[in-house]
Structure 1
Amino acid sequence: MAHIASLAHSHPMSLSTIETCFGSLYTSIGVYLEGELQGFAILHQIFEDATLMDICIAPKSQGRGLGHLLLLHVIATACEGGAETLFLEVRESGVAAKALYIRDGFKETGRRKGYYKTEDGSEDAILMELHLSR
């Protein structure tokens, strides 16, 4: 997972951070092609609130709809766990990711100014949420 994140994200979660996402409040979901991990998502859920901590597809497998399938699985998992709202944040520069989230019904709800590091400074985090129906 850390290797895929390092290929796909300019500032990925550290290995130690990823390792903390295997506790009882987390669900890690992988997408495989021919037995090889191509992407993953990490879902954190406490009662009715679920947060998509990360979703990542290896660059060589992007553009095949795997991110969409993975996101649909995350949404279904959150619903099965009794979540009412699924939250996430995305880099302002994450145009493809934002389009994916909007396509699946997420709405922008706010911003964190200068939240993410970039090569030459910082950029905003766009906060998004999806209200889930059971």
Structure 2
Amino acid sequence: MTDLGQIECKVLKEPTKELLDELYSIEVSAHKSPWTFDGIAASFDGNIVIVCFLDKKLVGFAVMQTVFDESELLTIGIMPEFQGRGLGKSLLSASLSEVKKRGAKKCFLEVRVSNLPALGFKKTGIRKNYYAKTAVLPAEDAYTMVSEL
């Protein structure tokens, strides 16, 4: 419990069509270059999807991939009206705890160089022109980052 309300993050295995619609709405509102609806639906095939609720309202989600003892944060997002309140940190913490329970010792991610640094992650390299130009964003390099679990 926080001054915000009750935060609950949990693994979601089989979403309903309505829940997929909500996840897609969060993705579109939280990112300038969002995943497609089909991409979000496909993320349930072989990945770990963690959802975040605030007072039983879905406010965010993350998608993690784990292969052997390594994991990768594929996407994470919190509805804009709930950003800046620590919910992203709670979601990231729950996501890292989940992959650690499944045997991951490290977690990797790529992030736009213009993004804020990921909490607890260290820069390990740079990928030139990793992100393609979109209608709203220029082409951009990505930092490769890692967190020891």
Q: TM-score, normalised by structure 2?
A: 0.79
Instruction: Report which of the two has the higher share of helix.
Output: 1
Alpha-carbon distance in structure 1 between the residues aligned to 2:91 and 2:128: 28
Partner of 2:52: 31
2:30 touches 2:80 (CA, 8 Å); kept in 1?
A: yes
Q: 1:37 to 1:109 in 2, by over 3 A?
A: same
The structural deviation recorded for 1:35 is 2.2
- Structure 1 runs, 4 residues or longer, greater than 6 Å off: none
Alignment partner for residue 43 of structure 2, among 21, 45, 48?
Answer: 21
Is it true that 1:4 corresponds to 2:26 in the alignment?
A: yes
- 1:120 Cα deviation from its structure 2 partner: 5.4
Give the C-alpha shift of residue 121 in structure 1. 2.9
d(CA) in 2 for partners of 1:56, 1:110? 23
Identity, in percent, stands at 38
Counterpart in 1 of 2:113? 92
Query: Counterpart of 2:84?
Result: 63
Show structure 2 runs of 5+ residues with no match. 1-22
Q: Who wins on radius of gyration, i.e. which is larger?
A: 2
Q: Is the 8 A contact 2:43 2:49 kept in 1?
A: yes
2:139 to 112, 122, 128: 122
Given the two structures, how large is their TM-score scaled by the length of structure 1? 0.87
**Which residue in 2 is equivalent to 1:110?**
125
Counterparts in 2 of 1:79 and 1:120: CA distance versus 1, 3 Å: closer
SS at the partner of 2:139?
Answer: strand
Instruction: Give the number of equivalent residue pairs.
Output: 125
Instruction: Identify if the C-alpha distance between structure 1 residues 75 and 59 changes in structure 2 by more than 3 Å, giving closer, same or farther.
Output: same
The 2-side partners of 1:107 and 1:69 are apart by: 19
- AA aligned to 1:126 is Y
* Paired amino acid for 1:115: Y
Q: Structure 1: 5+ residue runs without aligned partners?
A: none
C-alpha distance in 1, partners of 2:97/2:88? 14
Question: 1:120 and 1:55, CA in 2 relative to 1: closer, same or farther beyond 3 A?
Answer: closer
SS in 1 for 2:35: coil
Task: Indicate how the Cα distance of structure 1 residues 32 and 108 shifts in structure 2: closer, same or farther if over 3 A, else same.
Answer: same
Cα RMSD of the aligned pairs, angstroms, is: 1.3
